[in-house]
Structure 1
Amino acid sequence: MFAQPVLLRPRTLHLPQRPAPRPLPVDDAIDSGALLNGQREILIRHGDRVYRLRHTSNDKLILTK
């Protein structure tokens, strides 16, 4: 008795469609310089949590809890 090879076909995964994100109006944008006000790092209170917004030496913004 010999084992017969079995061919497996990948199943197609169907995910629900997400609506496309709406672009934000540029007029509503807040300049990062206005937020940071010359500082490299600020704390932002949102509800009962505090977040840290940091401007890196690579000119990136990092937001952490």
Structure 2
Amino acid sequence: MMNQAVSTANAVPALPQHNAVELTGGGKTAQIVLDDQVYVLRITRAGKLILTK
């Protein structure tokens, strides 16, 4: 099997990735600020994420 060269001309740069548990400091909630607005990121008991204003 031959390896094929991958063209980077049309490659999309990787998106930043953040660990939700690290963002919450090991807890269940974190505050995220955008401009002057404060949002709350919450990890639910079911392991889902909720972002509220």
Query: What TM-score range do you get, normalising by the shorter chain?
Result: 0.5 to 0.7
Larger RCO of the pair (alpha carbons < 8 Å, separation 6+): 2
More helix by share: 1
Gaps of 5+ in 2: 1-11
TM-score where L is the length of structure 1 = 0.55
Moved runs in structure 1, 4+ residues, more than 4 A? none
Residue of structure 1 equivalent to 2:35: 47
Residue of structure 2 equivalent to 1:14: none
More strand by share: 2
Percent identity over the alignment is: 36
In our comparison, the structure showing a higher alpha carbon Rg is 1
Number of aligned pairs? 42
Gaps of 5+ in 1: 1-22
Q: What SS does structure 2 have at the residue aligned with 1:53?
A: strand
TM-score where L is the length of structure 2 = 0.65
